Amino acid sequence: MSNIDEKIKVRGYLSKRTSTKKGKPYSYYYVQLVYTDDDGNEKRETRSIGQVTKKSEAKEEMERIISEKREELGILKSAGDDGNRIIFIDRFRSWLESKKKTVEINTYDGYVIRSKAIIGYFEKLTEARGVDAIFLDEIKASDILDFYRHELNSGKVNKKTGEVSGLSRDTVLSYSGLLHSFYKDMVENDTVPENICDKVSIPRARKINIKKKNYFKMEQLKELMAVSENFRDKRLIPIIKICVTYGCRRSEVLGLKWDAIDFDNGTVEIKNTVVRGNNATYYKENTKSESSHRMYPMTAPIRKSLLELERIQKEKGCHRPDGIVFWDTENNKPYSPDYMSKLFKKIIKLCPNIPDDYHFHDMRKTCTTLLFETGEWDLKEILLWIGHENDEDKSYKTLLANYLTISMPWKRRKVPMIENLFRGIF
């Protein structure tokens, strides 16, 4: 393999400057690019990174700027007779940047997070091979498989202890999805002849047959409500009621706006969501899927809680007819998804009869299980109620695998029927 000629390298150096704006000091990062022109003269160019406060983020942006400059100079290729061979990492970075214009911003943030593992692995692989770059046409299916194996075995590092462990298969599947998407676009652009990811299957970890699915039994639900009544400003009470009654996701309940609450007609509409991205919280004027957009009749307990919440917000002067329902009145800002999950965990720890491994999303599972246990709801009705996707076969599998617990009380109620079925035989 040919290394990249020294004369076509672009180097970048990260620096930090302090300035003032309207009398207030502030800091920002910038990159100094160093490269050589066609005549062999060294050139320098300074580029501001913009409003980035973390050094790690500044380094990522510097790598993107370097790749961009190399594309600008037409030197994403090796010297000599290698032609227009493209450097894998550079093209992957530029492809990632292009996705910013085509996907939701929170989706793009997810791409960036997953890309760190891919870029980091192939940067180390480049160093291990003792070359300046690995070209896109040199990446083989075996290299992709080695990456998957590495992440499954040692892709997770504890920042405090340095302990190395493997990532879950679901996490590696998310990396695989990103690589598939990248190569799919490369094939469509005639950059590569085939999607080599199609040749690779992610190794399966040894499965544990027992998969725990948490849901709140009635007594646990009563305990959760009682503890929440005595916790701070009772902010979780209406959220618990809505999530357990309607099976709402965290993104749906925190994205609820007052214009979706109709007290006159007694309805609650799920039409907005809030999601946590890489560096911010994003409010979206839509739901996860078409079937997730739904209308519910308002139950009496939910109506009572929402009216009380509206009264408090009006007293504190932070109520808006089109504003967020679950608003932090003390700090005058909406609740972030991460904050709400942490608050929920704090309350769980105060409940002696509820295990610590229960999470916010388990309220959605509680809704599906308790509805099923009534014996009055079939699976399709439950799917429609919680706003699951329309693909019935896929939805049934997801519901049974992840949401629905066939509990022992439900099974015990079936025993008389079973005994009667085999009466006179056993």
Which pLDDT tens digit goes with each residue over 146-192? 999 999 999 988 888 888 899 988 899 999 999 999 999 999 988 88
Q: How many helices (H) and strands (E) does the chain have?
A: 14, 12
Residue 5: partners with Cβ closer than 8 Å, 6 or more residues away: 78, 79, 80
pLDDT on residue 284: 79
Task: State the distance between the two ends of the chain, measured CA to CA, in whole angstroms.
Answer: 75
- CA atoms within a 13 Å half-sphere pointing along the CA-CB vector of 110: 13
The band of 42, judged by pLDDT with boundaries at 50, 70 and 90, is: confident
Residues 6+ apart with CB under 8 A from 388: 291, 292, 395, 398, 399
The model's pLDDT over 4-24, given as tens digits with 9 standing for 90+, comes to 444 446 777 888 777 776 667
Q: How many residues does the chain have?
A: 426
Per-residue pLDDT band for 76 (boundaries 50, 70, 90) equals very low
Res 119 pLDDT > 80: yes
SS3 string of 62-97? HHHHHHHHHHHHCCCCCCCCCCCCCEHHHHHHHHHH
Q: Confidence band (pLDDT; 50, 70, 90) for 259?
A: very high
Strand 156-157, strand 164-165: pairing: antiparallel
Higher pLDDT, 65 or 221: 221
- DSSP type of residue 423: T
Q: Is the pLDDT of residue 77 over 50?
A: no
| pLDDT beyond 80 at 222 | yes
Q: Please, what's the b/e burial string for 30-63 (b: 16 or more CB within 10 A of its CB; e: otherwise)?
A: bbebebbeeeeeeeeeebebeebeeeeebbbbbb
207: pLDDT confidence band, cut at 50, 70 and 90? low
What is the rounded distance in angstroms from the CA atom of residue 10 to the CA atom of residue 90? 12
Q: Looking at the domain 86-207, which fold is it?
A: DNA polymerase; domain 1 (1.10.150)
Q: Where are the domains of the chain?
A: 1-78, 86-207, 218-412
Token reading at 288: 């996860």
Nearest to 87 by CA among 5, 142, 180, 32: 5
- In this prediction the pTM is 0.63
352 phi/psi in degrees, rounded to 5: -60, -30
Q: Where are the beta strands (DSSP E) in 76-226?
A: 156-157, 164-165
- What average pLDDT score do residues 104-125 get? 89
pLDDT of residue 125: 94
Tens digit of each residue's pLDDT (9 = 90 or more) over 372-390: 888 888 888 888 888 876 5
Q: Angle of helix 379-386 relative to helix 362-373, nearest 10 degrees?
A: 150
d(CA 158, CA 172): 18
What tens digit of pLDDT does each residue of 261-274 get? 999 999 999 999 98
Residue 124: which pLDDT band, with cuts at 50, 70 and 90? very high
- Report the alpha-carbon distance of residue 118 to residue 112 in Å, rounded: 10
Residue 330 has pLDDT above 90, yes or no: no
Mean pLDDT of 339-356: 93
Of the candidate CATH numbers 1.40.20.10, 3.40.30.10, 2.40.50.100, 1.10.443.10, the domain formed by 218-412 belongs to: 1.10.443.10
Is residue 40 pLDDT above 90, yes or no?
no
